[in-house]
Structure 1
Amino acid sequence: PNMRSRSVRSMILLLSLASCPALQPGQRLPARRSCSTIESTVTRRALLFTLPLAYSTAAHGAATGGGFVEGQFASVGGGPPKIKGLAPLTKGEPSAAELNRLVVGYQRLQFLLNNWDAETTVCIKGCKGAYESCGCVRDPLVVQSYMGYKSMNDPLFKAGDLMLRASSLIQNDADFERYNDAMETWNNKADAGNIMAYVSSWGEANPGGGQDNILRYLEKSRKEVVESANLLKVILDCLNITV
């Protein structure tokens, strides 16, 4: 109740200040009207429109499950390499252009692993100061972008479905068995890597949380990515696709 009353009083004050003639350029305060009279005429509808003003960035982060608003922080490594001309997903047996999504996805996983520390460290966007001064933290959620869980435009988005549709292209039984095993394991590993990245992102909020625990989760997430990349290479080899 106390928090609610303080929020209402804050919103009324904001409305009063915004509507006060004395604060408007070139305006004079009418003789028979004062800013305090605004409080008695504020409607419920007006209060609802001011609700966003009562919430801070931290509150938004807590409500959405993150510690910061998306767009305020950026990866030290710059994030996944930009992609041009990626073929859209279709149905049925995939074309060579569509299978190239797997090649691009594999290359991006290699980029992530080669730049792991930089890619899993985020800092305040545009900050040029020291690590501590720029609010830098280890955040492995970038893994979701590389594994195809962040956007439909990611090359590995629905990669498991693409692999399944491409299974008809395998030429012999031995490769088919190898391909099928890799495909099933890929789906399990991809999900595990995504979950581990999410768990790691909560950092010290995890049971027994602390910097050591954060790094432990990060290392588990990295190992999942390594195994996923190896499986994807098997898939490409069975399809006779050169990386």
Structure 2
Amino acid sequence: AAALAGLGLQAAGPAPARARPADPVTPEDLDRLRNAYKDLEYLMANWNKVTRDCKSSVPNQVKVLQSGEASPDECIANPDIVRKYMGDRSIYDNLHNSEQLWINIDASDLIPKKDEDSFQDAIEEFERHRRTASEWAYTSTWGENNPGGGRDKVENYLLRSKSESTKALQQLGIIVNILKLV
């Protein structure tokens, strides 16, 4: 490469990755964030109601599970709904492309200087828990169909998603408080 540079030539190679530049933060962005926080609060307060489909449940029918976690009711788990709350189902979800939103907010003057470190820590933790909650929810949707799977696996993975969702909500609470959105 040094010899090529001496001749005025460059070695062909991949161009370095470049982050998309920050966009201005709009009131709609902040509304999306505020609504996402309210949605996550609703999800966590109504977890069993939101993550269950009771249309096909049969009353007075006992469902025997192989082992592990039992369903809290006779309804069928619908873990994919968690992915919607985490922004991974549609471009219209409130948390869709949240990483770009953090870049935009960080480039703006919305974060008080004294809270910059807390904000950075909160967005890193939020993204980690958001992503993991969504991954467990996705895994849960296939828990019954996989070899060795069953409804108990669906419930186990859904509980893991719930645990991560709780942590994501806590971090999002820190973020919206720093931004004074609640």
**What TM-score results when the alignment is normalised by the length of structure 1?**
0.55
How does 1:67-146 map onto structure 2 within 5 Å? 92-124=23-55, 130=59, 136-146=75-85
Question: What is the identity, as a one-letter code, of the residue corresponding to 1:146?
Answer: Y
Change (3 A) 1:178 1:214: same
* Displacement after TM superposition at 1:165 (Å): 0.7
1:100 Cα offset (Å): 1.3
Partners of 2:149 and 2:115 lie apart in 1 by: 44
Name the structure 2 match of 1:241.
Answer: 181
How far apart, CA to CA, are the structure 2 residues paired with 1:221 and 1:131?
28
Aligned counterpart, 1:230: 170
How far does residue 206 in structure 1 lie from its aligned partner after superposition? 4.0
- The answer on 1:200 being equivalent to 2:131 is no
Separation in 2 of the partners of 1:150 and 1:198?
11
Report the RMSD for the aligned CA atoms in angstroms. 2.3
CA displacement 1:178-223 (0-9 Å, x = unmatched): 0011111222222111110011111233464233332221111001
Aligned to 2:90: 151
Give the 3-state SS of the residue equivalent to 2:144 in structure 1: helix
* Aligned equivalent of 2:7: none
Cα distance in 2 for residues equivalent to 1:106 and 1:237: 11
Structure ranking higher in helix proportion: 1
Conservation of the 8 A alpha-carbon contact between 1:120 and 1:138 = yes
Higher-Rg member (1/2):
1
Deviation, structure 1 residue 97: 3.2
SS in 1 for 2:30: helix
Q: 2:57–2:76: 8 Å Cα contact kept in structure 1?
A: no
Once residues 57 and 157 of structure 2 are traced to their aligned partners in structure 1, the CA distance between those partners, rounded to angstroms, is 28
Is this contact kept in 2: 1:185–1:231, CA < 8 A? yes
Unmatched tracts of structure 1, length 5 or more: 1-90
The match for 2:18 is none
